[in-house]
Structure formats: C-alpha cells, structure tokens
Amino acid sequence: MARAIDGFYAGGSWKKAAKTFQDFNPANDELYAEVADATVEDVRDAIASAHGAFASWSELPFTERAAFMLKIADEIEKRQDILCSAIQAEAGGWFGKGMFESGYIPGVFRAAAALSYAPIGEVLPSEHNKVSLAVRRAMGVVTVISPWNFPALLTARGFAFAMVAGNTIVLKPSEETPYSGGLFFAEVMEAVGLPAGVFNVLTCSRDNIAEIGDELIINKHVKGISFTGSTPVGRMIASKAGQHLKKCCVELGGKDSLIICDDADLDKSAQTANFGAFMHQGQICMSVEKVLVHESIYDTFVPKFVERAAKLKVGDPTTDKSNIIGPLINDKQVAQVKAQLEDAIAKGAKVLVGGKIEGRFVEPTILEGVTPDMLIYQNETFGPVVPVIKFSTDAEAVQIANDTEYGLSSGVMTENEKRGLEIASMLETGISHVNCSSVNDEPHIPFGGSKASGVGRHGGRWSMETFTETRWITLERGGRHFPPMF
C-alpha cells in the first residue's frame, strides 16, 4: 500500500500541488507514494515564507533554538522505525544501513544544539583602544538540495547547523527520495511546533527540476545554498551561486582509495575494503573505489577480500533483512556501472568475483588488471565494482590515489601510525583515515573534499561558518582622533 502524502510543506502548513509524480521502490518497482510536483511559483511562495519567518527566528534566544533542536532529535528517535522503512523502500538500502542512518540523525540535531553554546565571535586588539568585535550572524534564507543515497542523513547535515544559527530553510530533496529526504522532516517539524516558515519542503519531479533548481539559487531572498550530490550538478550550482555572489557549500563525488601497506593487518584490511567498497552497493561519495595493495602482500590479501565479497547476499532488502546488497537507485545508474565494467573487461581487466547484473541488482565485483586508460580507473563508479591495484612503494600508492580529479576521502592501512600519517598528509583529499575505511562520518566534524569533490565544509562549526556572515563592530572609547580640518 502506497504511503499517503499530503502535499508539500511551506509556511507551516501542507499545500496541494496541481500535479503529482510517482515515487517507486527501486528493488521491485512497487509504488511507494504519489508526491506533489511543485511549480516555480510554489518555490517562490515557500522562499517568501522563509524570508518572512527569518527575523523572528533569528532573534529568538539561542537557548530556544537549541531547545527546538533537542525536541527534533527526540521526535526523530520516536519515529526511527518509520524512517528506516522509508529509507529502505525509497533508496533500496539494506536494513542495517537504514537503522544506522535513522539512528545517526538525532545526533546531528543534538550536536547543532550544543554548538549554540559555543563562541560566535572574537574580541580583537585595536590600536585606537576601541572595543573591536568580530561577530557572526545568521544570513537569511538558506536553500538545501539533498541527494538520494543517504537521504535523511545528508539532508539533516545540510540544514541543522544552518537552522540553529538562525537561518530559515527551504529544502528540495531528491526526486528519488522525496519522503525520507524531505517530507519526513516536515512531519517532524510540524510535530514539535517549529514556528511557521522556518522550515519548508518542496518536492518536484525530474521534469521541472532545472527551473526549480535555478529559483532556489537566484531568488533574491536566498542568501546561501547547501548542496550534496554529483560533481557535474555541483559545478553548475557553484557557478550560478558565484554569478550571484552567494555563499554555497557543495559536497560532491569521489574516487576514493584504500591503501593497504605491507605491514597491515590483512584480515582487518579485507573487512575494511569489503565494507568500504560494497556498503549500500557502493553508492556513497566516500566509497572505496580503488583498493591499492602492496605487491608483497597482494597474493595473500586478494583471496581474503574475494572470500568476503562472495558472501554478501544480493536481493530485495525490503523483503529479506539478510540481503545486504540491494538495487542500484535507477536504470541510469545501472547503465553507468555496466558501461564501466564492460569497458574494463574489453581492455583486459579480469573479474575475480561477481560481475553479474540482473535488473538493478549488481553483484559485488572485484577486478584486477585495471589500468589508467579504463573508465573505471578514471570515473566515479557509484556501484559495487572495485579494482585491486598493486603498488611497490608508498610514493607510488600516493601517486595512484591522487591520479584523479576527485579528492574527497581516503584510507591507509598500516601497523605504523607514523607511516600512516605521512601517507595521509600526501593524499589530496579533504578526509583521510588511518587504519579505517574511507567511509566515515560524525556530526561535528568538517566534512568535505578538495579538487572536484567540492567546496566548503559541512558539519559542526564549519557549517556555522559557511552559513553565517562575519561582521566587524567597534565601540569607540575616545582613542581615535580625526584631523582638525575635519
């Protein structure tokens, strides 16, 4: 039975749209919901509501905004089972992934509440004996465009810190996950009594996403943009935001490496690679997309990795919790993964395990013999296909890992932490983990990449810095004199 959706949420109430679009379960094509297909006029009205609510919300005592964050966290905890089911049904996720994601989100809002008690400025020295202050204040309306792969987590991270800072929010979730990435939060905000207009959710189909996306950037009341998604779309958003001199934070794709040194714990490394490459079918911006293995341990490590991958069960995760590898999100994504796999095989790569594609289900696949001329070496895959590549020196491993336009995350496996830190310091990524997977996150950390993986940082005080303005304010105490002729 399809979920009942009341429309989109703006100005503190649910609005009906003239049209709807269908939201399907990618595992079985069952209808999940009929969703409001908002228009540009709907978006303008929602932005106007957010703009109208900004003054009163930003002027609330910070303790009251923090209290709302705690109420939101508690309400999400009450609804964890609902959210977990929605994440599975809309995004094709494994049950464990849904439970992790839905359980993680309350911590985002609690971290946002805590940050409200942190300093928001500095007292600066003044040669004229002024009281010189650098203070941060909310900007206004912040629009959030969120993705489908971790729809609830990445949506929450995209707006929680901006909202607690005093900004008001207009959210457009992915058309693939309109409920778990957007309308679920509207239900939560309504339940906790958030003031009208502070939080708004617009849903739309792929047909009018370009026009609506433009409005979310260029509207005169929009002061900042938070985007998580693909690099091509991120480039367009950052470019358009720059044209209009608006702040934006874009977290984009990755081609992340896991480097396994010759002194690494191989059992731990195999498990780390297995999780990093195949968790959520590899549809994570931080997924391990290259496993780089020192040549002296290659023949020992690879069978361990293959054995683990072969045990991952493929199937509809909404009907069987033991199915770990669910579907890719849509047919376009399947076609991309298939093209990379076929290109690699045609150019000489060997399939060590997996390789089969049935509908949207792709077996966990490990390749060897991958070379730089292959698409899977060059491009983000965003699917459960990963190459293992030999290296002979740490410098060569770093060179291979950096040989990409992306620079999001990375992992280094070694028993020597000094060596691990030295390698991590040479990697051109915004994030690096020694003796852990490239797939890591915590609510309060600076999350983001370098190169084509994004601009800016989400999370904790870094989100606050992005989505506030810095002002210089002074109090004159009689020390600054002007020339007498004035």
Catalytic residue at 363? no
DSSP 348: T
Spatial distance between the Cα atoms of 125 and 131, rounded to a whole number of angstroms = 8
DSSP 439-468: ----TTS-B--EETTEES-BSHHHHHHHTE
Handedness of CA 184, 254, 265, 422 (dihedral sign): negative
Pairing of strands 121-124, 131-138: antiparallel
Catalytic residue selected from 176, 285, 363, 380 = 285
Secondary element (H or E) of residue 213: helix 209-218
Q: How many helices (H) and strands (E) does the chain have?
A: 15, 24
Assess contact for 439 and 276: CB atoms under 8 A.
yes
Distances (CA, A) of 364 to 215, 255, 280, 335, 403: 40, 17, 11, 16, 24
Q: Is 346 within 8 Å of 58 (Cβ atoms)? A: no
For the purposes of burial, counting CB atoms within 10 Å of the CB of 235, is it exposed (0-12), middle (13-18) or buried (19 or more)? middle
Residue 285 bears catalytic tag: yes
Q: Which of 101, 175, 251, 289 is catalytic?
A: 251
Active site positions, annotated: 251, 285
